[in-house]
Amino acid sequence: MKDLKAKIAELKKKFNSVSARVKDEKSLQEVRNTYLSRKRGELNLLFEEMNALKPEKKSQAGQMINSLKSYIQERLEKLKKEIAVKERPVRKIDLTLPGEKGYCGAPHPVVLFQQEIEEIFLSMGFSIEEGPEVETDYYNFEALNFPPHHPARDDWDTLYITDDLLLRTHTSPVQIRAMEKRKPPIRIIVPGRVYRRETSDPTHLPMFYQVEGLVVDEGITFANLKGTLERFIKTLFYEKIKIRFRPSFFPFTEPSAEVDIECIVCGGEDEKCRICGGSGWKEILGSGMVDPQVLKNVNIDPEKYSGFAFGLGVDRTAMFAYQIPDMRYFYENDLRFIRQFALK
Ligand code: DAH
């Protein structure tokens, strides 16, 4: 028995020194085999010796050997974890590599252009109004003086939802909504999306943006319309830009005018200019004096009040300003296109 005790102490000492030198999986496995192998492991040899002892000594011997066994097992387990940590692959960082660029979003060019327009009108004392994109026939047409079945409706290729509901074809219905809500003086602009039954091509889309304008007060004249729009266009483009008012027709204005600006690409010098078709002019908006019938429709007395209105195509004007050859680029979500307009 004394012998066995000494052997156990000896073995523990030996194990401690051997295990202290373990540095990898392989040497760990060797130590495990030496001590714990079922066939020739040192501990098994001790158990065999124990079996030769007298029964009364066996249990004490068994306890001693088992406690050495758990000591060895625990120690090996700990070593295994330490090795696993040591051998974990290290992520090497190459500090000379360029960093990963995060993508930072940018405002859409049409939105940017719309904001420029808004700022000019805000500086002139206009406020911004909004209206629904799904409209009724009444606001989109009838209240704007398009009677049912009137041929003028044909100029607005309309996407109907029901007989009475439609996707607004212009921002003009918000004129009616604004005048129903409040009495003059009114001075608003209405930016927003409009829809038409169109097949996309370089200059047409089934969805695009407009900015509507409306001024109603006592004594408003065509001179106010002309002065306001000229000031706006000169600020948006440049001071010396040539502007032309051309007689036109809209059911909701009388008289009506379309406004052209000189072609900023060829200045009228190029007969084959792709932007103006050689005319030297580009139409950007429709306008006019609010038809007295429209005022009557919203219970504003046309004897006392008068007003002017206008509607500007945002996308087509942006196309012209930025010299973009195809309107569809705006909505193809091609980042190479969009990023060119990112704020620097
Ligand atoms: N709503 C017209 C369009 O979509 C544009 C327009 C013309 C608006 C004359 C107006 C206006 O307010 O007075 O073509």
Question: Which protein residues are within 6 Å of ligand 1, measured from CB?
Answer: 170, 172, 212, 250, 253, 286-288, 309-311
- Residues 18-44 have a mean pLDDT of 84
Q: What is the DSSP letter of 153?
A: G
287 Cα: distance to centroid of ligand 1 (angstroms): 6
Residue 343: which pLDDT band, with cuts at 50, 70 and 90? low
- As a whole number of angstroms, the distance between CA 316 and CA 30 comes to 80
230 Cα: distance to centroid of ligand 1 (angstroms): 17
- As a whole number of angstroms, the distance between CA 130 and CA 107 comes to 20
Which residue puts its alpha carbon closest to atom 10 of ligand 1?
310
Bridge partners, 159 (sequence order): 167
| pLDDT one-digit tens code per residue, 209-252 | 999 999 999 999 999 999 999 999 999 999 999 999 999 999 99
81 Cα: distance to centroid of ligand 1 (angstroms): 78
Taking all residues of the chain, what is their mean pLDDT, rounded to a whole number? 91
Which residue puts its alpha carbon closest to atom 6 of ligand 1?
311
Residue 224 confidence (pLDDT):
98
- As a whole number of angstroms, the distance between CA 194 and CA 312 comes to 12
Residue 298: which pLDDT band, with cuts at 50, 70 and 90? very high
Residue 95 confidence (pLDDT):
85
- Residues 123-137 have a mean pLDDT of 97
Question: Is 257 buried (19+), middle (13-18) or exposed (0-12) by CB count in 10 A?
Answer: buried
- As a whole number of angstroms, the distance between CA 62 and CA 133 comes to 89
335 Cα: distance to centroid of ligand 1 (angstroms): 32
| pLDDT one-digit tens code per residue, 85-119 | 887 777 788 888 888 877 777 789 999 999 999 99
- As a whole number of angstroms, the distance between CA 178 and CA 139 comes to 11
> For the chain, first and last CA: distance in Å?
88
Q: What is the DSSP letter of 144?
A: G
Q: Which residue in 183, 184, 140, 175 sits closest to 158, CA to CA?
A: 140
Can you tell me which atom of ligand 1 is nearest the CA of 210?
4
Asked whether the predicted pLDDT for residue 344 surpasses 60, the reply is no
Residue 99 confidence (pLDDT):
83
Residue 1: which pLDDT band, with cuts at 50, 70 and 90? low
| CA dihedral sign of residues 147, 150, 156, 158 | positive
- Residues 325-344 have a mean pLDDT of 85
Residue 15 confidence (pLDDT):
83
Q: Side chain identity at 13, as an amino acid letter?
A: K
Domain definitions of the chain by residue range = 2-87, 109-341
Asked whether the predicted pLDDT for residue 82 surpasses 90, the reply is no
203 φ, ψ to 5°? -120, 5
DSSP H helix total and E strand total for the chain = 11, 10
333 Cα: distance to centroid of ligand 1 (angstroms): 29
Report which of residues 98 and 309 the model is more confident about: 309
- pLDDT over 70 percentage in the chain: 99
326 Cα: distance to centroid of ligand 1 (angstroms): 23
Hey, which of 287, 295, 315 would you mutate to test ligand 1's pocket, going by the most ligand atoms within 8 Å of its Cβ? Answer: 287
**∠ Cα 72 75 81 (to 5°):** 140
DSSP β-ladder status, 127-128 and 281-290:
unpaired
Residue 282 confidence (pLDDT):
92
Q: What is the pTM of this model?
A: 0.72
**∠ Cα 40 46 51 (to 5°):** 110
Q: Which residue in 50, 48, 52 sits closest to 40, CA to CA?
A: 48
* CATH superfamily of this structure's domain 109-341: Bira Bifunctional Protein; Domain 2 (3.30.930.10)
Contact, 62 vs 77, CB < 8 A? no
Asked whether the predicted pLDDT for residue 2 surpasses 80, the reply is no
98 Cα: distance to centroid of ligand 1 (angstroms): 52
Contact, 46 vs 7, CB < 8 A? yes
Asked whether the predicted pLDDT for residue 164 surpasses 60, the reply is yes
Can you tell me which atom of ligand 1 is nearest the CA of 214?
12
Quickly list DSSP for 19-74.
HHT--SHHHHHHHHHHHH-TTT-HHHHHHHHHHTS-HHHHHHHHHHHHHHHHHHHH
Hey, which of 310, 314, 316, 317 would you mutate to test ligand 1's pocket, going by the most ligand atoms within 8 Å of its Cβ? Answer: 310
CB atoms under 10 Å from CB of 93, counted, come to 7
